[in-house]
Amino acid sequence: MREQAEKPSKHHPEHEYPSRMRLSSNHRSDEIPIRQTMKEHASANTKHDSGSQPSYPTTRSRAPTVGAKAGRYPLQERIDTAHGQKTTATKEDNMHHTSDNDHNHYGSPPLRSGDYDAYEIVGSEYGQAKNEVASSETVHGRASTSDGARQGRLAAEHRKHKHFAETAHSEFQKQSTTTGSTIYSKASNAEVMPDVEKGYSSRYSDESGEDIDFRKKERRLKENQLKQMKELQCREREKDAAIADLEKQNTILQKKLSEQTSEASRKFYELKREQITLKEQAKKLQEENLNLLGSVHRAQQKLAAQSQEVRALQASEFRATKSTLSESHQEMQGRLEDVFSLVTRWCRSYFRIPTQQMDTLPKEQLDQFAKYLQEAGNTNGIDLVVREGKLGFCFLVEAAINNFLMLHILFNPFQICEPGHKLAFDHLYKRLYKASAEKAGKWRAVTLQQVLSDHGDTLGDVVKEVASELSRRLLSVMEPIAVTIEPGLNHDKFSQECNRFVKDALAISLKLNKKAAGLGYIGKDFFAQWDWLYSGGSEYFRPRIEDEDEVEQPGSVKKVALIVRPGLLKYGNDEGENFRTEAVWMEAVVETVNVISE
């Protein structure tokens, strides 16, 4: 019977359990043997055979406590004690620990690989306990032939084994449902092998140093992690503060930009309103300017008519006292008309080309001719006449020659004097004329008569010589132009005709300037005073074609563009009396153009 009772513990491999279980907690985790041999159970069977009462190790267990120091599992101690097996935990398995942060969602630490091993151990122990119960039942059956006392002991042992199996199954279910919980137990049986406990205590004392180092490392790691976490939090706070500052600055800038945009928009609309106002004012000013131009033009016409009436009245009063036009003056007026007629025929004989062909003429002579032509009108009017091609080139030549005779001969009385005397007389006459035109006229007449008397019989030769010099000045400019227009030009005839009207003009100039009457020139300065405006019916000038019937364009103003022949005025009588009385001795002939008023 003893052999049969010991057979399950010796020959069944399923009764051999793992020697240790790894436990996890927030504190120190110790690897403690959880299986003992079944020697006590075997000795109990032996004592049962000998008729003695079997003794079982008594255990005192406590509920698993998380965080408590690991102890021996009472179920495993019972199983180990029943089988008589002694196991020890390895030093390496005692190094398993868990941190405070390794808890699951439900407050329990997560399962480790050693925890699953512990669950398997408990399950295996439960199976072995059932086998032991079965073995006890077999022993109890075989011992049925014994006496009643032995049967009672076997029944009691059977009940104990059955109760132990149920307790193991209950604790296994509790271990399975409590995820990550560490089961701690401590054997209360004082008879557990002291040598084994001594060995374990020495092992624990050996492992305490490494465990302390590990905890220090773990604590330093936690401190470093906490420090890094604080640094990260500090950086996050700094970044949040920087972002807040940037957002604040952005808000301020947006506000400033909005204010600037509003201010710019306000100024823009103000400027736009001012622009509209200025445009309206400019339009009104233009209208007023046009009205004023019309008023000025009408006032000029009215003034011209009134001046004509005044001059007619003065002339009638002067004729009542003493005639200003003697027979000599009328004769000289006719001679002047003859001189200008000679110029007209000469120009139309040798310079009959369109103005568009002026570019083919010699440039040097054409530039000098342009200087003479500028004395006969304003530059804009002459350019307009040339562009339109309204006049031929011969009319431009006629205007230049007529103004040359008037300015350089008729109104230059000291031509026959020597060059030095001429300059002195001219300078003195201009100064006297600015002070008093009446005194200047009398001085001029007296001085010229004295010069002519000084020449005596040689006066004719002097006049001829001066006329030849003036003719050469004109021919130096006009003859190359005439040769270009007509290559077969008769030079002698051309120069003789030019010398003729120059000599006649000089003779008339000497006769006029010997008189004390004042002379006036209706030319460029006269028209410049009236802004070159043309007034129809004026006694001072007339158009080149008197009978032309031009239809003026609406809004156009007629202006004098070219003085084809200058006019002549006389002030007072031959003795220099009544100098304020003005008479038109010869009216000017002008070329007009229509100009659109702005």
pLDDT at 157: 74
What residue segments make up the domains of the chain, in order of their start?
A: 2-192, 222-321, 325-596
| Tokens describing residue 338 | 């003859």
Note whether 71 and 28 are within 8 A (CB). no
In the block, which residue shows the tokens 């109760």? Answer: 163
List the beta bridge partners of residue 571: 518, 582
Per-residue confidence (pLDDT) for residue 162, from 0 to 100 = 75
Residue 240 pLDDT: 92
pLDDT for position 502: 93
- Provide the pLDDT for residue 257: 92
8 Å CB contact between 524 and 377: yes
CA 286 – CA 290 distance, rounded (Å): 6
Residue ranges in the chain whose pLDDT is less than 70: 1-151, 161, 165, 168-169, 171-208, 311, 314-329, 389, 546-556, 596-598
Structure tokens at 554: 């609406």
**In the prediction, which pLDDT does 511 show?**
86
Q: What is the pLDDT of residue 213?
A: 85
CB proximity list for 483: less than 8 A, separation 6 or greater? 489
Evaluate whether 324 touches 583 at the Cβ level (below 8 Å). Answer: yes
Q: What is the pLDDT of residue 176?
A: 53
